[in-house]
Each structure stands twice: as C-alpha cells, then as structure tokens.
Structure 1
Amino acid sequence: MIDQTLHIKNMVCDRCISTVEQILLRLEIPFERISLGEVVLKRALPLKEEQLLKKELKQVGFDLIADRNEMIVTRIKSIIIKSIYDDANFSNKNLSQLLTEDLAFDYSHLSSIFTKVEGKSIQAFQFAIKTERIKEFLEYNEKSISEIADLMGYGSAAYLSTSFKKATGLTPSQYRMNHIKSRNTLNSL
C-alpha cells in the first residue's frame, strides 16, 4: 500500500477534521487518518482528483500546502493549538521541547522557519492563541481568573491580567463584566 500525506492549511479544530473527512468521503478518496493540518491517504492522487480536492477544500477555507516550510509551520500551529485547547497538562510543558520532540528539528531552526513564513515569532502566535482561549473561558464564565491563569500556564492571576490587558486593552475582569465578545477565528491568527 502506498500512502500519500497531504498537508492542509487552516485546519484548527475538530470541526475542521470532520469537514475534511466529509469532503474526502463525498469525493470517494480513501484515507488512513486525518489530524489537524494533515491527511494520510491510502493511495496517491491523480492530478485531476487532486485538483478537485483542492477546489473543494478552498470552498470551505482550507488549502493544500506543497511548500516544505509551510508544512512545518502548519504542523507547529497544529501542535500549539492542540496543546492549548486539548492538553490538560499544557501549563507544565515547555513549548520548545514539545516542538523539537514532535518535529525532530532544532528549535532555533523551527523558529527561523516560522518567523520567515508567518512574519511573527512562534511565541507571538502561541500568545495570540492563548489570548483567544482566555477570551473563551471568560465568555463562558465557568472558571475564575485564577483557574484560567493556572490552566494557561501563567504564574498568577495578576500576570495573566497584565498580559491580557496588553493584548486586548482590557483586564480579564473588564472583558467579562462588559460581556465583550471579540474572539477571532484561530485560522485568522
């Protein structure tokens, strides 16, 4: 069996995985697995089928990636998003170690590629994703600011508040009290 791995830009959540799965099923393209930013097919795609898939993906905001550096950046983004949204031990993990273990590249190399492709650092991207996650927690009002700080790896509620205000212009309390809903989609970050 020959497999082909496709890298897909803008896959940032479980719904994205489900959407790509539905497209593959509708087009009758057999696949092994789908994860954030990646699809492993059971066979190589003929050019015509690849073009059709690309067209279908574009209609829902995704894009096939051919450039190696873009593939690495997409993988970095997927790892960061997954760790912030799905990993209960996120705050105890070192980002550079997590990325180097998963991608088998030196962190300085990954950082250089990311900055070159995205025009911002890995840390800036991680901070933007954390800010969106904090907004989500604040909007749902299910956790205290101290609990959010602990979950997001901030040393204290005061440090979270300072960082959040720097990013949004509001403290977490102000954001929550004013019922502000200004979240951004993850693929726009």
Structure 2
Amino acid sequence: MDAVIHIKNMVCPRCIEAVKEALNDANVGFERVYLGEAIIKRPLDKTQRSNLEPLLKEKGFELLEDKTSAVISNIKGLIIEQIHYSNEALKVNFSTFLSDKLGKDYSSLSKLFSSVESITIEKFITRQKIERVKELIIYDQLTLSQIAYQMNYSSVAHLSSQFKKETGLTPTQFKRQQQPQRQPLDSI
C-alpha cells in the first residue's frame, strides 16, 4: 500500500537525489521521489520516522506534517519545476496548471498560499522567473530577446520592466556587475 510523504525545501533535481539517499539510509522503501514529495511503499512507522527526520534535516529538508504545508510545498515545487527545469513552455496559464495538477480550485490555492507565505502565487512566480532570467543572463548564451521568448514574456520591454521592478537593475546593468547576485531557490 503506497503512501505519500511531503518534504519541505526540495527545489532542484539534486534535492531529489539527496532525499532518495536519506530514504535509503533510513530503510524506507520508495517508489518515486518528486520535488516536495516521495511515494513510499508503506506509511512510515515510528522507527522509520525517527531515523528519517534527522537524515533529512542534515541535508536541509524537513518532513511536513500538516496538509496546508504539503499543499504550499507542492505549489512551490510545481512552479520551480516548470520555471527552472522544464524544457516545454506551459500551454495554459499557471492558475490552470496548478489547479489541474493539485485537483483544487485556484482561488482556494491562491488564498491558502497568500495566507501562509505572505505573498501571492503570482509574486512567487515572478520571483522565480527573475531568478531564472538572472541565471540565463549569467550563462551568456542567449540574447535578451531569446530569454524573453523562452520565459514566456510578451516582449523584452516587459521582461526588462519586471526585472528592474524586482532587482532595482536593468538586465544590462545586472550583466555588467562583477559578480551578479543570485538567490538560492529555497529562500525566494
């Protein structure tokens, strides 16, 4: 009988590998690990939980107990996965995407997220997109037009405007910095 555990602070593919390692070290059988959750072969017993929690904590993760935290973690994981690691652009808007993936009405997801995180889902998406744009600027392999297209901005002007609003710099000013500053994804 499969069960699902929710894990806080998973923001990248390396996080998935680190959680798999912790699950193995704690002798917790699992089917699959995604950003923010793991499908385990059976519910955790007390011994497994007490073994797993410190292993996860040592790697910067945390088991989530309540459903609210799990939903918030899932929302963040889906957004981060789509913006930072997906090669395919969304064919629908984020509200439809999140609603479909989580099987819940977007307005309730939005209210829950805002009440817990003190920012809107839209603001979280914007911050994630800007961090991804920073990364692409630093890599210096795409033009700003290509970045705007890849990140689903309607124009370079829209991207530049949003970038300046979030960072206080234009993309060009950011690029000219000696060591452009990026933020860890789990702190956004």
TM bracket, shorter-chain basis: over 0.9
In 2, Cα distance between equivalents of 1:98 and 1:57 = 29
Runs of at least 5 residues in structure 2 that lack an aligned partner in the other structure: none
Aligned to 2:171: 172
In 1, Cα distance between equivalents of 2:43 and 2:124 = 33
Give the counterpart letter for 1:51 in structure 2: S
In 2, Cα distance between equivalents of 1:166 and 1:7 = 33
Give the counterpart letter for 1:164 in structure 2: F
Aligned to 1:105: 104
In 2, Cα distance between equivalents of 1:91 and 1:38 = 22
CA RMSD of aligned residues (A): 1.2
The 5-angstrom pairing of residues 49-88 of structure 1 reads: 49-88=48-87
Return the offset for 1:92: 4.2
The 5-angstrom pairing of residues 121-136 of structure 1 reads: 121-136=120-135
The answer to whether the Cα contact below 8 Å between 1:91 and 1:150 also exists between their aligned partners in 2 is no
Seq. identity, %: 40
The answer to whether the Cα contact below 8 Å between 1:4 and 1:40 also exists between their aligned partners in 2 is yes
How has the CA–CA distance of structure 1 residues 151 and 92 changed in structure 2, closer, same or farther, with 3 Å as cutoff? farther
TM-score, length basis structure 1: 0.95
Aligned to 1:154: 153
The answer to whether the Cα contact below 8 Å between 1:91 and 1:151 also exists between their aligned partners in 2 is no
TM-score, length basis structure 2: 0.96
The residue matched to 1:97 in structure 2 has which SS? helix
Return the offset for 1:28: 2.0
Return the offset for 1:91: 5.4
In 2, Cα distance between equivalents of 1:92 and 1:159 = 20
The residue matched to 1:90 in structure 2 has which SS? coil
Return the offset for 1:67: 1.1
The residue matched to 1:8 in structure 2 has which SS? strand
